[in-house]
Amino acid sequence: MKMIRRMNHPAWFFTPYVVLFTTFIIIPVIIAIVLSFTYFNTIQTPNLIGLKNYIELLTRDEVFMQYVLPNTFKFAFIVGPVGYMLSFILAWMLAQIPHKSRTVLAIILYSPSMTAGIAMGVIWTVLFSGDSTGYLNSILLNIGFIEEPIQFLTSPDYLMTIMIIVSLWGSMGVGFLAMLAGILNIDPSLYEAAYVDGLRNRWQEIFYITIPSMKPQMLFGAVMAVV
């Protein structure tokens, strides 16, 4: 009986996710950090060289300092916080509509996480193709907005924006579902009591009831946004 009770403990439900997350996220990140302090050509045994890789990267690689590093920070600061806030906003909006419509829209928003990366790449490549057959270029040409196709996927003026848009759409994953579940599980009586006590509008409802009642889901969404 004791063994059965231990196996029924709620923590066991998290075990598969923890194992997979550790195997495919945490361990590879740790290995990458360790290898960054070594010289490793994938053939020979890694040789420890300390901070040499970082020193050369920061002092000798002009392309990295001028383009790669600024674009990386720009991408991270936009996709992370904006994707996190967008997940909450969409989850809150879906929670306000009927069940059947909410289910369909939730599946549509979550679909990028269920679709293989290669398939998503093909779809977006066709949409932003740099010739007249690309969907976006075709529309812009037909309405006379442009005279010749735009090279969206090779032009530095458009590529970063496209990457941010695609990443934001693809960020509607388990964090979004966790927030939606958290909002739907809030006891409606809390809102009723709050309005009796003087709550005035939906903004106060969100800040004083919704967000405090779903702190675990908000934290989980923040972690997933960072990862």
CA gap 149, 133 in Å, rounded: 9
CA distances from 35 to 22, 46, 50, 86 (A): 18, 7, 10, 35
Q: Are 171 and 181 in contact (CB under 8 A)?
A: no
Domain 67-226 CATH (choose: 3.30.470.30, 1.10.3720.10, 3.30.530.20, 1.10.10.410): 1.10.3720.10
CA gap 224, 170 in Å, rounded: 12
Domain boundaries defined on the chain: 1-60, 67-226
38: part of which helix (H) or strand (E)? strand 38-39
Tokens representing 146 are 């442009």
Tokens representing 176 are 């979004």
CA gap 129, 139 in Å, rounded: 12
> What pLDDT does 116 receive?
61
> What pLDDT does 68 receive?
84
Dihedral of CA atoms 138, 142, 144, 145 in degrees, nearest 10, equals -30
Q: Which residues of the chain have pLDDT under 70?
A: 1-10, 116-117, 227
DSSP β-bridge partners for residue 48: 38
> What pLDDT does 7 receive?
58
Closest C-alpha to 151, from 159, 141, 143: 159
> What pLDDT does 23 receive?
92
> What pLDDT does 33 receive?
94
For residue 91, the SS3 value is helix
Tokens representing 54 are 């970082």
CA gap 145, 190 in Å, rounded: 52
State pLDDT tens for residues 139-170: 988 888 888 888 888 888 888 888 888 888 87
pTM for the full predicted model: 0.69
